[in-house]
Amino acid sequence: MKTKILLPQNVFSKILLSELNLDDSIAVEFQPAALIAKKLLKEEYSIGLIPTLDLLTSKDLFVSSKIGVSFNALLSNSYIHFKEGQETIEQIFLKGDVTTNEIILSKILFKEFYDVNVTPTLVKDESSHINDNTLIVGDENYEKELFLNGLSFSEEIIELLDAPYVNYILAGSSENVLKDFTDKFRDNLLNGHTEDYTDLLKGFTQTSLEFISVNIQHIVFDLEDQDLEGIKSLMQLPYFHGILKDMIDIKFI
């Protein structure tokens, strides 16, 4: 049966896909990031990029130790936008392709750095709360140049962990399917990033394209030891903050 890879609909998935240089043996499907882990549990011949903290509820999935989406500096898939003139923060609204990562980590982040207990709230109307404290997830940050006035979520998590922020991990319910895919395509990632994404990222402004091109060096797809340590540190945060009762054993291959 043909292997299928499920990817979140964002700029970094598209760049990863272009660098993997897949052949006709792999079918590609884009999905909301929050749904991918659930689909993988039901589809033996599917693999996919899932938000790292989805392992909290999908611990039976196998995880590639070699492929993922890891940020180590300014570049980010999410940006925090603050309301002007406030003295304290009680609520943060989440909009875009929101996942477990943003819901859990935003709460931990504000407690650790600002000693405030915020309530993360999903935005139902995409046009609302634009002037409130908002964490925007996904391409809207680059399509509308919102990143220029936002705080890099990745950079904040990196500081919190003192390790890279692995936003997405490659996972699957079949150890063999995941291993075969990794063995076949991982070496394609060793060629490094290209410099021009104009054709790949149609619809982005020139400012956004230049920002991504300049900072693409700060994203890693072929995971190294420091990225794996970042994954482990990230998974420990919910436990240390009392969100999780037991630690999760990650089934790396």
pLDDT value, residue 4 = 98
Which token pair is 65? 């130790």
Mean pLDDT by 10 residues, the chain (253 residues): 95 94 96 98 97 96 98 96 81 95 96 91 73 91 95 97 98 98 94 76 89 93 97 94 84 96
What is the Cα–Cα distance from 127 to 6, expressed in whole angstroms? 28
Whether the Cβ atoms of residue 97 and residue 32 lie closer than 8 Å to each other: yes
Tell me the pTM.
0.94
Nearest partner of 8 among 31, 37, 35, 38, judged by Cα: 31
pLDDT tens digits for 150-169? 999 999 999 999 999 999 99
pLDDT value, residue 90 = 84
pLDDT tens digits for 203-232? 898 999 999 989 999 999 999 999 999 999
CA distances from 60 to 40, 55, 90, 114, 171 (A): 10, 8, 35, 35, 10
